[in-house]
Amino acid sequence: MVASLGSGSRYDQLFELVKCLRGENGCPWDREQTPESIHPHLVEEAYELLEAIESGDRAGVCEELGDVLFHVFFLARIFEESEAFTMADVIQGIIDKMVRRHPHVFGETSQVSNTEEVRSQWQRIKAQEKAYAQEADVSLLDGVPKQLPALMRAYRLGQRAAKVGFDWSDPNEVVEKVEEELKELQEVLEADPKSSEVSEEFGDLLFSMVNLARMLEVHPETALWKATSKFVKRFKFVEETLKQKGRSLEAASLAEMDDIWEASKKKR
């Protein structure tokens, strides 16, 4: 039997496709999936979308957006099957939230004049929604998901703390903190490179670097992604250059690879 997606809207057709995949005559793999099993796939698709955006590949962005959207519909269907909520609930929920958090657009009284006022208003409304002030057992930091990548989570935690004034006054103070943490790491390395304290001190250094990025208005996740991409591009240049010379990476000396690496910096 061949499944039919009907002739409704694209939204209806996509949801019908997901229902077919999860249905009795659908795909065995799709029927076995749970929210937990889909988790890593959703994260992977999100990063593939970010990579497409960064590369400027519009066709790639379109395709990856579709992959992410499919996973959203797929997860909604799983929860709908257990009668937790429906896709309509998901859509209505986000519509209500966006209207509620943009009173300067959809309301008649709230006025904002710049982006910073918009951010402050957003956080104020969000805090009211979560009732932080009324719940003594809820921390200001609890709203930052533990599942976020470590750099992103550290960045968001720093933002939250800064909202209530728990922050440095300028980037130079954070630079001093970075230097302090680097010195502490060096001291531990000199004493015992295999000490368990090495990981702790390295983590402190990374956390300080994340806060420096925040103070400089640079997102650490994006900055590291770009740096990694640059490393890959330059390393591939080293590989290709050696290949053209009939040499392998293993046969080349570090000095030779360094020379080619420096040459790669001049290529844009």
Q: Which residue has the tokens 């958090």?
A: 101
Q: Are both 15 and 93 inside the same structural domain?
A: yes
Same domain, 49 and 112: no
- The CATH number of residue 32's host domain is 1.10.287.1080
Chain segment 14-63, per-residue pLDDT in tens: 999 999 999 999 999 999 999 999 988 998 999 899 889 988 999 999 99
Q: Picking from 32-36, 148-152, 258-262, which range would have the lowest pLDDT averaged per residue?
A: 148-152
In a domain, 176, yes or no: no
Let me know: does 212 contact 178? Beta carbons within 8 Å: yes
Residues 38 and 65 in one domain: yes
- How many Cβ atoms sit within 10 Å of the Cβ of residue 84? 11
233-255 per-position pLDDT tens digit: 999 999 999 999 999 999 999 99
Which of these three, 41, 74, 100, is where a domain ends? 100
Quote the domain boundaries for residue 26: 10-100
- CB neighbour list of residue 138: distance below 8 Å, 6 or more residues apart: 130, 131, 132
Distance CA 63, CA 51 (A): 12
Cβ pair 38, 71 in contact under 8 A: yes
Q: Amino acid identity of 2?
A: V
Q: Is there a single domain that holds both residue 130 and residue 95?
A: no
* Res. 2: pLDDT tops 80: no
**Residue 178, in any domain of the structure:** no
Give a yes or no: residue 46 inside a domain: yes
Kindly state whether residue 184 falls inside one of the protein's structural domains.
Answer: no
Q: Which helix (H) or strand (E) holds 233?
A: helix 220-244
Q: How does the average pLDDT of the chain come out, rounded?
A: 89
At 114, list the tokens: 């710049």
Whether residue 237 is contained in a domain is answered as: yes
Is the pLDDT score of 11 beyond 90? Answer: no
Lowest-pLDDT choice from 23-37, 60-74, 92-106, 116-130: 116-130
CA distances from 245 to 6, 9, 99, 229, 263 (A): 59, 57, 62, 25, 15
- Whether residue 126 lies inside any domain: the answer is yes
Q: Which of 138, 155, 187 is the last residue of a domain?
A: 138
Query: CA-CA distance, 162 to 246, in Å (whole number)?
Result: 55
Question: In the predicted model, is pLDDT for residue 203 greater than 90?
Answer: yes
Do 22 and 63 lie in one domain? The reply is: yes
Query: Which pLDDT band holds residue 164 (cuts at 50, 70, 90)?
Result: confident
Which of 41, 70, 100 marks a domain boundary? 100
Same domain for 34 and 18: yes
Strand, coil or helix: 109 = coil
Same domain, residue pair 57 and 123 = no
- Chain centroid offset of residue 209 CA: 17
Q: 0.85 exceeded by the pTM?
A: no
Total number of domains constituting the chain: 3
Beta strands in 58-209 (DSSP E): none
Roughly how many angstroms between the first and final C-alpha of the chain, as a whole number? 55
The answer to whether residue 144 is domain-embedded is no
**pLDDT bracket for residue 137 (50, 70, 90):** low
**Residue 235: inside a domain:** yes
